[in-house]
Structure 1
Amino acid sequence: MFVTPAFAQTAGAAPGGADFLIQFAPFILIFVIMYFLLIRPQQRKAKEHRDMLKNLRRGDVVVMQGGLIGKIVKVVDENELLLDVGDGTAKVQVRVAAGLVQQLRSKGEPVKEGN
């Protein structure tokens, strides 16, 4: 009988190329922003921490994640350190996991060969 306005309108454009990109552009933009603000700096910080752990040697003063501060007496292997946490009068040595070193306070003197 009467043609309603809904039936009288023409059909919209078929879904395709430009509409698809316009719909996903905000998601792509958010991912790019997250990469540069979160992911990339975290990867750089992790790389710096790995390099610091690789270069630890006897005589370095380090801070552990629990707040323990000590001087490295011996690098047992790549995963363990022997730390002197005494105040100079008492010899207190603790064996710790190298991965838990949070900060390198100061580099020690190079060890001379033959000692």
Structure 2
Amino acid sequence: MEAILSLVLPFALMFGLMYFLLILPEKKRTKKYNEMISAIEKNDEIITRGGIMGRVVIVEDDYVVIESSAERTKLKISKSGIATKVNKVEE
């Protein structure tokens, strides 16, 4: 019995450590990202995964349309292509 316990215990400890160091933080990050994506609204400033900054003009189920320059160039991108939402401080 002790031999089995001495073989199984290190693997159980390694799995527990991996869970708390890798799996749990990734789940939290994914949940936070999905909340941010679902909270995107018109006039929000965003940055795409490709590095394009723009202001959201239209929000649909799977995509958004952004204006990305002074010439009001419109780009239609997938919501999964959004990296972050830029928080502007309003005075």
Name the structure 2 match of 1:19. 3
Could you tell me which amino acid in structure 1 is paired with residue 19 of structure 2?
Answer: Y
Aligned residue runs from structure 1 range 82-101, under 5 A:
82-87=65-70, 90-101=71-82
2:64 is aligned, of 73, 76, 81, to 81
TM-score, length basis structure 2? 0.92
More helix by share: 2
* Secondary structure, aligned partner of 1:30: helix
Q: How many equivalent pairs are there?
A: 89
Name the structure 2 match of 1:63. 47
1:68 deviation in Å? 0.5
Could you tell me which amino acid in structure 2 is paired with residue 81 of structure 1?
Answer: V
Deviating 4+ runs (over 3 angstroms): none
Identity of aligned residues (%): 25
Structure 1: 5+ residue runs without aligned partners?
1-16, 110-115
Q: Give deviations 1:29-82, integer Å, cap 9, x for gaps.
A: 11000000000000000000000000000000000000010000010x221000
Name the structure 2 match of 1:29. 13
* Secondary structure, aligned partner of 1:103: strand
* RMSD (CA atoms): 1.4
TM-score, length basis structure 1? 0.73
Structure 2: 5+ residue runs without aligned partners?
none
* Secondary structure, aligned partner of 2:54: strand
Could you tell me which amino acid in structure 1 is paired with residue 2 of structure 2?
Answer: A
Rg: which structure is higher? 1
1:104 aligns with 2:85: yes
